[in-house]
């Protein structure tokens, strides 16, 4: 490694205003095979009891790209610190060796110093992991993205046939809520991520990628730290996209479902009307969820399903101009408790004018609930019980791991009754982050989302570590 001209060539350093940056230049040829990690400690003499639980990793932006290695440290407390940097060349060894050590004196903690929303082991910014996955940045080469209005579009060249997963994180806003603020799509050899941040602050965008169709957990390959710095930032969410990605899903192939028209993930509905057509294997039931974040749009939209010899037709009528989502699900006709998302669309409706009779008729539409109850559940158990909201007669559930492609398993989710209460029983065979959506079903083919849960299954003792840390630095955040 070689220090950048503007970096530090002494082993004893001092922070300025509670911050310091250490940068090394890297030869691109060797950078691709290099891996780094670090450890930051506080000196025993300068530590007090209140500061013992602070996880200093949450205050280090670790960035490894083709040309540089950078550590940007913000100190939430004053004192004397030691930082060790370790490295290895994957072509020569699998053991990290100590590369350098710094002693950092921080006389004054950074004001209003908040923890980072995540601490990814691979660091921040496009590096070797993204390249190995076939992702090359087009719009954003650096680890940190700054936005004023909170709207961000990230484009990456997809040099392989991949499947892409995303996760948006914030130190306090729950992940179930944030799942509605980011959408990905693969088109024309590019991976595109659109983000609408609900409020100011720092967010982590985590991208996971693997070969298309490959089962199991996809590795984390790229992370961006997004800073929303504008005043009074407040963006509406996307309409509900079941797993945050547009287009065909890996499970469509498992279930024998194929889009006839349209095949992609975006629809423009002229005069507020459009049709989608699918072919499904014998014995497979298809159903759809049409959603809008606008209450009037929900009240007036309609879906008309039809099935003929394995061909499914869904006619959509969206007279209110605006943005909608359409999620297509499939399941076996003999096992309908668990459904699987096979395709998702983002629909832009031009709208059309309704006459008085149509307005009166649609006033009776039960699709009036735009706010869906959202909750994050922390557990170490391999099974959770989720109560079904009362008042719904035909409920089904969709469950998926946020960064994985798991094969269909009808026995993973079922509906049981205990003490007169109906419950969804979801089995979680692996540690990880799951998303569970509950739906009310009409005419066996039209769905309405009635509840959403982010379920984080983690090893015992780790479930509440992050929330405990954040309580040192935040009082409360209200998301309207």
- 238 within a domain of the structure (yes/no): no
In a domain, 173, yes or no: yes
Residue 5 has pLDDT above 90, yes or no: no
Q: How confident is the model at residue 478 (pLDDT cuts 50, 70, 90)?
A: very low
Q: Residues of the chain with pLDDT > 70: what percent?
A: 91
Cα–Cα distance, 263 to 248 (Å, whole number) = 8
Same-domain pairing of 320 and 270: yes
384 assigned to some structural domain: yes
Q: C-alpha 386: how far from its chain's center?
A: 22
Specify the pairing of strand 284-291 against strand 446-457: parallel
CB neighbours of residue 435 within 10 Å: 20
- What is the average pLDDT across 231-260? 94
Q: Which of 71, 106, 141 is the last residue of a domain?
A: 106
Q: How large is the average pLDDT for residues 197-220?
A: 95
Q: Does residue 217 lie within any of the structural domains?
A: yes
Question: Which tens digit of pLDDT belongs to each residue from 41-53?
Answer: 998 765 565 555 5
Q: Are residues 252 and 349 in the same domain?
A: yes
Whether pLDDT at 223 is above 90: yes
Count of the separate structural domains present in the chain: 4
Q: DSSP labels for 18-51? A: TEEEEEEE--HHHHTTEEEEEEEEE-GGG--GGG
Among 7-11, 65-69, 300-304, top mean pLDDT goes to 300-304
Give the predicted TM-score (pTM) of the model.
0.89
88 & 147 share domain: no
Whether residue 293 is found in the same domain as residue 334: yes
Q: In this predicted structure, which of 34-48, 186-200, 279-293, 353-367 has the lowest mean pLDDT?
A: 353-367
Both 391 and 352 in one domain: the answer is no
Question: Would the pLDDT of 465 be above 60?
Answer: no
DSSP state, 218? P
From residue 356, give the alpha-carbon distance in Å to each of 341, 365, 412.
Answer: 36, 15, 47
Residues 429, 336 within the same domain: no
Output the domain CATH number for residue 429.
2.60.40
Residue 367 domain flag: no
Domain that holds residue 140: 128-228
Q: Note whether 450 and 381 are same-domain residues.
A: yes
CA dihedral 425, 429, 434, 440 (to 10 degrees): -30
Question: Of 298, 327, 362, which residue is a domain's last?
Answer: 362
Q: What is the CATH number of the domain that holds 313?
A: 2.60.40.10
Co-location of 353 and 258 in the same domain: yes
Please enumerate in sequence order all residues whose Cβ is within 8 A of that of 101, keeping only pairs 6 or more positions apart, or say none. Answer: 11, 82, 83, 84, 85
Question: For 109-137, what is each residue's pLDDT tens digit?
Answer: 999 898 999 999 999 999 999 999 999 99
Looking up tokens 């869904």 gives 314
> Residue 234: inside a domain, yes or no?
no
pLDDT tens, residue by residue, 353-380:
988 877 777 776 655 555 788 899 999 9
Residue at a domain's end among 362, 397, 412:
362
Asked if residue 100 and residue 25 are part of one domain, the reply reads yes
The reply to whether 408 falls in a domain is: yes
Query: Has residue 114 been placed in a domain?
Result: no
What whole-number distance in Å separates Cα of residue 335 and Cα of residue 345?
Answer: 25
Asked if 314 and 421 sit in the same domain, the reply is: no
Q: What is the pLDDT of residues 274-284, one digit of tens each?
A: 999 999 999 99
CA angle 477, 432, 434 (to 5 degrees): 65
Domain match, 303 and 397 both: no
**DSSP at 467:** H
Same domain, 85 and 15: yes
């Amino acid at each position: 490694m070689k220090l950048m001209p503007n970096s530090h060539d002494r082993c004893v350093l001092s922070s300025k205003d509670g911050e310091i940056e250490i940068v090394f230049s890297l030869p691109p040829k060797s950078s691709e095979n290099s891996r780094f990690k670090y450890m930051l400690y506080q000196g025993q003499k300068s530590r007090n009891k209140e500061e013992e639980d602070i996880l200093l990793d949450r205050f280090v932006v670790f960035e490894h790209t083709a040309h540089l290695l950078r550590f940007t440290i913000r100190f939430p407390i004053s004192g004397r610190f030691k930082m060790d940097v370790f490295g290895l060349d994957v072509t020569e060894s699998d053991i990290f060796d100590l590369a350098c050590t710094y002693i950092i004196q921080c006389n004054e903690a950074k004001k209003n110093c908040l923890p980072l929303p995540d601490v990814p082991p691979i660091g921040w910014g496009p590096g070797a992991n993204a390249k190995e996955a076939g992702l090359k940045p087009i719009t954003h080469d650096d680890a940190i993205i700054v936005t004023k209005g909170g709207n961000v579009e990230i484009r990456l060249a997809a040099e392989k046939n991949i499947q892409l997963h995303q996760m948006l994180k914030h130190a306090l806003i729950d992940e179930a809520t944030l799942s509605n603020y980011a959408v990905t799509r693969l088109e024309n050899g590019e991976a595109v991520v659109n983000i609408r941040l609900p409020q100011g602050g720092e967010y982590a965008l985590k991208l996971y990628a693997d070969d298309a169709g490959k089962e199991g957990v996809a590795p984390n390959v790229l992370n961006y730290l997004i800073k929303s710095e504008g005043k009074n930032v407040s963006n509406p969410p996307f309409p509900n996209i079941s797993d945050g990605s547009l287009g065909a899903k890996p499970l469509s192939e498992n279930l024998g479902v194929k889009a006839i028209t349209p095949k992609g993930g975006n629809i423009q509905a002229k005069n507020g009307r459009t049709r989608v057509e699918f072919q499904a294997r014998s014995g497979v039931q298809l159903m759809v969820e049409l959603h809008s974040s606008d209450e009037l749009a929900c009240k007036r939209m309609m879906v008309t399903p039809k099935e003929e010899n394995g061909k499914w037709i869904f006619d959509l009528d969206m007279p209110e101009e605006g943005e909608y989502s359409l999620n297509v699900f499939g399941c076996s006709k003999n096992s309908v408790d668990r459904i699987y998302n096979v395709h998702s669309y983002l629909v832009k409706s031009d709208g059309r004018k309704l006459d008085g009779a149509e307005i009166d008729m649609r006033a009776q539409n039960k699709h009036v609930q735009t706010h869906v109850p959202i909750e994050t559940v922390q557990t170490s158990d391999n099974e959770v019980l989720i109560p079904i909201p009362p008042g719904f007669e035909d409920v089904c559930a969709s469950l998926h791991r946020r960064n994985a492609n798991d094969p269909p398993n009808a026995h993973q989710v079922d509906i049981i009754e205990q003490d007169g209460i109906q419950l969804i029983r979801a089995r979680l065979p692996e540690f990880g982050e799951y998303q569970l959506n509950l739906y009310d079903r009409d005419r066996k083919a039209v769905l309405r989302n009635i509840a959403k849960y982010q379920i984080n299954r983690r090893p015992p003792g780790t479930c509440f570590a992050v929330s405990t840390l954040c309580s040192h630095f935040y009082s409360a955040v209200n998301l309207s």
